[in-house]
Chains A and B, each alone.
Chain A
Amino acid sequence: MIAVFHGRSPRPWWSLAVGLTLLAAWLPLLPILEPLLRFDRLAHMLDARTAALLWRSTWISGLAALLAIVLGWPYALLCTRFQFPGAGLFRLLMPLPILLPPLMVAQAWFGLTGMTGPLATVFTFGVCYAPLPALLAARSLHKQAASSFESALLIAPRLAFWSLLRISFLPAMIGAGFAFLFAAADFAVPDYFATVGDLFHVYAAEIFGHSRNFDFTAGATASLPLVLLGVVILLGNAILLKRQLGYEKNSGRYATAISAGRLTLPILLFMLTIVTVLLLAPLGRVIFETGNQGPLSERTWLEVSQQAFREGIDRGRGDLMRTLGFSGLAGLLCLFLAPLWAHMLLHCKNWLRLPLVVLVSLPLLVPSVALGFGSILMFNRPWLDQFYSSSLLPALLIAGRFLPIAVFLLLDAMSRVPDSREENAALAGCSYLQRLFRYRLGTQHASLWLAAGLVVAFGVRELDFAILLPAANASAAVRYYNALHFSRDNFVAAYGLILILLLFLPVMLHGWWQSLRSSDQ
């Protein structure tokens, strides 16, 4: 047995990865997917009312994805390819907005501007998910062949600028595709803007309503259109990625940043504006909220704020550690599973790729409430008691749910490594795992950690199945939402900030380390 896993064939490892994924993410889906086979339910699904809801969800998410591009793409372009004071800092800040819980951002912007309604929802999602197009665009901009840029520069600066736009357009689109997916599945933000302003509904409310109204199989059925939309977008993204990879075969030098020259001041102002919108304004508002009181209150802002932070640490510490525990474990699992999956997708037969993509991405596309109920039905058995109440179950579910993000990132990273490296290692008789982790991924550790980090961040934010699983119930997300609806606004703000800082820290350190390394070379 052990010998098999030390061997040179990838098969046992791939089987292990698929097996674990089936266990983590598909087994809980089975009881939920079963009613989909009953067609009478499906027929009822697209009446005028639900169609209207679906349409509203689609345009809200579409506009949000567009806004994410409009904010994220220029940001990435300027801070990766132009030299101006602070460019490095702006690069470090780029991923941070994705770590802010969208609901918190929604509250902050409502507090700042009083905005409500569908357009406020569009704005919030656009701001929250702008890092997705930004990060992917930044990566391709960073890796543009120097000669490609310079040969344009020999002709006209305009042409050189176009070459930047062209090389990063598809990655920005791929990022926007993900932004669309997340926005369409999110219930909390539109729900929030509907509560603080005029009421409106999105499709996710329909799903959520069903799962709440005692009938979660109806919820699962209702989510089918969103799932289909998700599959379409993921496939679209896969096609775009394949195209982009065709553009990025290059072995020469990477282009360097251009001095901003006379444009320094406008660029700096533009970047500051975007960082303010994406990060500083919402954070500032949340900090303000930690001590905010009604007009008749007699305590000072500082007193209230300090107490809020004290409570955040006193009451929430245990939950926070547990959350970091199972989310970290999920990240660890993905550190191992995602490379196997990505490698399998890279090497599998063409006809098998599509089913495998669907297999790995479906858990991300179904509502997480459904995943939670499914795992109760599957795993809550007397002989599985230890497992059911251990941190391993939420870790597995989080890993299974967010695995596709990690797989996608690694697929992208791995495709950039020439096959020859791995083939050389194979000829030298290296074991499969060495080939994969040392030679295929050897230069792509940044992507690997980013992938795992994203899984952890999404795991920390996960609420819906956290309520339903014993080990995840005492988690930071549950406490946060409880306090939120209990109108403990000061505590909520303080606790949210503590949570965010914990997530920011490793990302900033990683980015800093990266920049040190690249300045070394």
Chain B
Amino acid sequence: MNPPQLALSALTKSFRQRVVLDHVSLAVEAGQRFSIQGPSGTGKTTLLRIIAGLEAADSGSVWLAGKVATEGAKIKLQPWQRGVQMVFQDLGLWPTRNVLQNVMDARQAAGLPHVKEVSTQVLVALGLGDFLKRKPGKLSGGEARRLAFARALAMEPKLLLLDEPFASLDPDARHAGFELLEQVLDQTSAAVILVTHDPEEATRLGGSQLRLVDGVLACI
């Protein structure tokens, strides 16, 4: 049997004596989908950042495709060595680069083939075909979100982390957001972890629904 795409074992993290993650364990198989719900400030983002290698844990470990990626406070695999992509709460676009460059830069730096063709293709698929030359600062909120998703998809990740991508949207935009999410899911076979505080969003994703409370991950 193949090792799981992602395995967390007894992951623990605290900030200034406050325990944010308390012996969290989880296994995610290739292509599997999880959603994690929970009120804000409980450590959902922190969990994703530890998985991505942007933050060390206090103890416990992160395994990616059978390799140890984080062991306690030691980051064994650097963020760029993990095959993980993340869509940040505030998107993390590169403001000085235009829409096309945002995607192309990423693919090029990762050494993926057909940089321009694939980048354009992904952008067109997510409805940004008309904005290729625009700087992120000039995009609407929804368009910027599409760009963040497009960039992550173009990296062909094995594991996609989504940190409350639709949190601040009004009801209409959220509806469009769900469509976007479905489009994205159609286009990738990656395992997905979606952090949200919205049950409907979790339902749309399908897969298992989890809840993070007091540092403990539980099934709903």
Contacts and interface: CB of A to CB of B under 8 A. Distances in A.
A152 B94 CA distance: 8
Given A159-B105, A166-B97, A250 B110 contact: no
A148 B92 contact: yes
A151 B48 CA distance: 13
Contact of B137 (A152, A166, A246): A246
A318 interface: no
B52 interface: yes
A61 interface: no
Interface stretch (B77-85, B172-180, B190-198): B77-85
Nearest to A151: B92
B95 interface: yes
Contacts of A153: 54, 79-80
B89 interface: yes
A155 B92 contact: no
A147 B137 CA distance: 15
A163 interface: yes
B109 interface: yes
Contacts of A86: none
Interface residues of A, number: 27
Contact of A156 (B80, B89, B93): B80
Interface string A241-268: 0000011111110000000000000000
B92 A247 contact: no
By secondary structure, the A interface counts as helix
B88 interface: yes
Contact of B90 (A167, A246, A250): A250
Given A151-B88, A157-B78, A157-B80, A163 B94 contact: yes
Contacts of B94: 148, 151-152, 163, 166
A105 B174 CA distance: 61
A155 B137 contact: no
B195 to A, nearest CB: 14
B155 interface: yes
Given A150-B54, A167-B95, A249-B137, A156 B110 contact: yes
A166 B95 CA distance: 9
B135 interface: yes
Contacts of B86: 150-151, 154
A147 B82 CA distance: 17
A154 B84 contact: yes
A145 interface: yes
A169 B93 CA distance: 17
B158 to A, nearest CB: 12
A49 interface: no
A147 to B, nearest CB: 3
B95 A147 contact: no
A347 interface: no
A147 B92 contact: yes
Nearest to A160: B80
Interface in B105-132: 105-106, 109-110
Interface in B18-72: 52, 54
Interface string A419-460: 000000000000000000000000000000000000000000
B91 interface: yes
Interface residues of B, number: 28
Contacts of B17: none
B169 to A, nearest CB: 15
Contact of B109 (A149, A155, A247): A155
Interface in A169-185: 169
Contact of B79 (A145, A154, A248, A250): A154
Given A167-B96, A247-B95, A247-B96, A155 B89 contact: no
A154 B105 contact: no
B80 A154 contact: yes
Contacts, number: 77
A162 B94 CA distance: 10
A158 interface: yes
A156 B80 CA distance: 5
The interface centre, meaning the residue of A148, A151, A157, A251 with most chain B CB atoms within 10 A of its CB, is A151
Contacts of B89: 147, 252
Contacts of A252: 88-90
Interface in B145-166: 151, 155
A251 B90 contact: yes
A304 to B, nearest CB: 55
A173 to B, nearest CB: 12
A56 B78 CA distance: 50
A152 B85 CA distance: 10
A143 to B, nearest CB: 12
A63 to B, nearest CB: 26
B110 A155 contact: yes
A276 B137 CA distance: 40
Interface string A379-419: 00000000000000000000000000000000000000000
A148 B88 CA distance: 9
B54 A158 contact: no
B96 A166 contact: yes
A336 B86 CA distance: 46
Contacts of B78: 157
Given A154-B85, A166-B96, A167-B96, A147 B90 contact: yes
The interface centre, meaning the residue of B54, B89, B96, B105 with most chain A CB atoms within 10 A of its CB, is B96
Contacts of A167: 95-96
B91 to A, nearest CB: 7
A156 B89 CA distance: 20
B174 to A, nearest CB: 19
A148 B93 contact: yes
Nearest to A159: B109
A167 B89 CA distance: 20
A397 B95 CA distance: 40
Contacts of A148: 92-95
B52 A154 contact: yes
Interface of B: 52, 54, 78-80, 82, 84-86, 88-97, 105-106, 109-110, 135, 137-138, 151, 155
12 contacts: A145-B90, A151-B86, A155-B110, A156-B80, A157-B78, A157-B80, A163-B94, A166-B97, A167-B96, A169-B96, A247-B135, A251-B90
| Closest 8 pairs between A and B when the two form their complex, measured CB to CB | A147-B92, A151-B92, A147-B88, A252-B90, A247-B95, A156-B109, A159-B109, A166-B96
Interface of A: 145-159, 162-163, 166-167, 169, 246-252
